[in-house]
Amino acid sequence: MGLALLAFLSFTAYTYFQVQLCLRANLETLLTDRAQRIGKFLLQNVAQTGEGYVATEIAGRYSPGEDLRFIRILRPDGSLLYLSDTPKKKEFEPADIPMASEPVTGYSSQRLDFPNGFHMVVVTLPYYVGEKKYVIQCGETAMRNRKVLWSLTEALLLFLPVFIVATVGGIYFLIGKTLAPVDRLTTAAKEITQHNLSLRLPETGSGDELERLTQAFNQMIGRLNEAFQHSSRFSIDASHELRTPLAIIQGELEVIIQETQEADARGKMYSLLEEVRHLNKIVNHLFAISRLEAGEAVLDLARLDFTSLVHRVEEQMAVLAEEKEVSVIWTSDLSVSLDGDSTRLKQVVVNLLDNAIKYTPSRGRIELALSERGGFASFTVTNTGAKISDEALPFLFDRFYRAGSHRSDRESGAGLGLSIVHSICSAHGGSVTATNEPQGCCSFTVRLPCTHKAKKDSYVIQP
């Protein structure tokens, strides 16, 4: 808009000065023609008609005193032959207008500005009658030109708001039309996640740089999809292959412990068995996460009472809370129903409550809240205790990430519980977030759609 306005002002200034020059040129042409007519029709025969006739004809034809015109004629010897009368309103005094400087050899013009604001253009040219050279000066007010220029300025100023409105509307329309494909690409790009990398950005078909950029992005998404599928397949295959030998090792250790009589050997075997069980749990979690993220886990979607599910889990885990003297408080008890897999959602609630109990100090407090808004059910777990560092918050749901290195590895687990929660929520079309509350608490919030709607661009669970 700034460039358009600058262009308009430049065009206006150019037009104004061009019109000014044109009016000045036209006035000078008019005055030159008048001087030539005076010479041709009056001075040419001055010897026969006499100088009095010339003065009378000039006054009758051009009325200098009434029409603000100026005429002066000099004889060949430089003396004054004729001088127009002073105007009635005395806008200027003809005798004060400078005489032509000798020698006058050709055409010349000048602009005169008087103290009272009056303007005049005067042209001077020689006229020869035989060998005698007369000098004719003709002048006329430039006020008409100024009126024309002022009318032009008014018209341009009146047109300026129209120009601004038309330009803004045109620019808005053109830019909107130009950026509409970019907006569609942005919307489509936001819909692409790790769960639907098979989607592609819509190509414009315009054959320009935007289409080439879209094609490059689609090729990149294709490569990312291949890499992600390869990584997911590797995780699934590796987890699957590890489960069998770990199960065999666990079983053999259990048999050996039963058959071993020595207390020292049995203690070492128990320690090995605990590590194998821990490793087996990690592998099972990795297997579950990989299947969820790859879309290979089967979700048994059904209408369920999410409030009752949370109550049952809270009652089952009450023993762990009592051991640490941690109180569990419901801040809201709204009845919430949604479409989901009860087994998977129970795992979400168990992991969040287990984490809350684990990291809440003795005689601390855990608050549970349920709400429903905008077609989404929200489940919030808030526990007292040390806040999670701001640096750790963005990585809480990454695999094997454990916030708070001061805790023991066994206490803080393998760092897969929250990752499983995140994967299950994503599989249901929801989300999970962690925040630090101003009062010094840590809060985890799960948002799940109340009604599951399968879309072509949403996360699809494949059998």
- The residue ranking higher by pLDDT, 414 or 360, is 360
What's the one-letter identity of residue 312?
A: R
pLDDT at 457: 33
Burial class (CB in 10 A: 0-12, 13-18, 19+), 26: exposed
Tell me what pLDDT residue 83 has. Answer: 92
Work out the angle between the directed axes of helices 263-294 and 209-259 (0-180°, nearest 10).
160
| pTM strictly above 0.85 | no
Residue 376 in contact with residue 306, Cβ under 8 Å? no
> What confidence score (pLDDT) does residue 289 get?
61
Neighbours of 132 (CB within 10 A): 13
Euclidean distance between CA atoms 289 and 278, whole angstroms: 17
Question: Does the structure show a pLDDT above 60 at 386?
Answer: yes
For residue 136, what pLDDT is reported? 95
Is the pLDDT at 369 greater than 70? The verdict is yes
> Does the pLDDT of residue 60 top 80, yes or no?
yes
Average pLDDT, integer, range 373-392: 84
Q: List, in sequence order, every residue forming a beta bridge with 435; answer none if it has no partner.
A: 443
pLDDT attached to residue 192 = 80
Q: Taking CA 219 as the corner, what is the angle to CA 217 and CA 221, rounded to the nearest 5 degrees?
A: 70
Summarize pLDDT for 130-180 with one digit per residue, the tens.
Answer: 889 999 999 998 888 888 888 998 998 898 889 889 988 988 888 888 888
Per-residue pLDDT at 455: 35
Supply the pLDDT for residue 462. Answer: 29
- What is residue 32's predicted lDDT score, i.e. its pLDDT? 94
pLDDT (mean) for 259-283: 73
Tokens of 388: 């999670």
